Amino acid sequence: MRDHLLSVRDFSVVYDVDPPVPAVRDVSLDLQRGEILGLAGESGCGKTTLAYGIQRLLRPPAVITSGSVIFHDADGGDVDVNGLDAEAMRRFRWDKVSMVFQGAMNSLNPVATVGSQLEDVFEVHRPGMSGAQRRAAVVELLELVKVGAQRYRSYPHELSGGMRQRVMIAMALALRPQLMVMDEPTTALDVLVQREILRQISQLRREFGFSVVFITHDLPLLLEISDRIAIMRKGEIVELDTAERIWTDPQDAYTRTLLSSFPRLTGERGVVVR
């Protein structure tokens, strides 16, 4: 059995408004080293709040009210994420844990080339690298995600949506993190491009051994790519199991409802009841 990379215990987040809104309620989960964990549920169930919370990316009025997040560093030692100061947290992000944000392919600077934006990651986090080393690393990344070195001097508007998303994945991979969190990374893409990118994520995961938390409301997609799936509802994880068992023997009524809400390609017309 693979050892744990991340341990989350009794984690809660509240939006401090009047009245307060609980967004994540006492969530506990373990992420295995090298696995893809899918996080599914309807809009507003707390998926993204949980992902942001475990990386301390939340902004007011969101407040972490309880719980612990322990990162089991492959380089040695456990890291209490909640206990890191601002500078240690800055080093931790991108180096140990990176994130592909929702709508990230539209987040590239429109007046800077793709190459310069990727170089910025190394300039900030690897200040000892020379300019030539940074350029070589960026070329390697662009080839790795199948954008191609010829796009080094391209501007974002010169790339397709799929290529821009690949650039964002390259940026997340730049420092070879142990965990990549992906928030709805393929939602705005057509089905064929989605599949190409999903295949590439799986291939890169096998090649480099990083773990993935993949957030989406698209449960059939998670069934295809995930090792395990956590189903969230109203801020809680109501079911956590292997993708195979979630599909063949779901235990929670909400999971069964989610599964039955997607149309089948075969069979008679009508409502599918599991």
pLDDT at 268: 60
Angle at 212 between CA 210 and CA 218, to 5 degrees: 155
Cis peptide before 60 (omega within 30 of 0): no
List the one residue out of 252, 236, 180, 213 whose CA is nearest residue 46. 236
Report long-range pairs for 59-62 (Cβ below 8 Å, ≥24 apart).
Answer: 60/16, 61/15, 61/16, 61/17, 62/13, 62/14, 62/15, 62/16, 62/23
C-alpha 4/C-alpha 16 separation (Å) is 32
List the one residue out of 202, 208, 258, 209 whose CA is nearest residue 230. 258
pLDDT at 1: 37
Element (H, E) at 91: helix 86-95
pLDDT at 269: 57
Walk along the chain (274 residues) and give the pLDDT tens digit of each residue: 358 999 999 999 999 999 999 999 999 999 999 999 999 999 899 999 999 999 999 999 999 999 999 999 998 889 999 999 999 999 899 899 999 987 766 789 999 999 999 999 999 999 999 999 999 999 999 999 999 999 999 999 999 988 998 999 999 999 999 999 999 887 777 888 888 888 888 999 999 999 999 999 888 889 999 999 999 999 999 999 999 999 999 999 999 999 988 766 555 655 555 5
Cα distances from 199 to residues 140, 145, 195, in angstroms, run: 19, 11, 6
53: Cβ contacts below 8 Å, ≥ 6 apart: 11, 13, 24, 62, 64
pLDDT at 192: 84
List the one residue out of 40, 50, 44, 45 whose CA is nearest residue 6. 50
pLDDT at 133: 97
Q: What is the CA radius of gyration of the chain?
A: 19
| Domain residue limits, the chain | 109-176
129: Cβ contacts below 8 Å, ≥ 6 apart: 122, 123, 137
pLDDT at 76: 81
CA 2 to chain centre: 20
CA 241 to chain centre: 18
C-alpha 102/C-alpha 110 separation (Å) is 18
List the one residue out of 118, 113, 53, 120 whose CA is nearest residue 82. 53
pLDDT at 140: 96
pTM of the prediction? 0.90
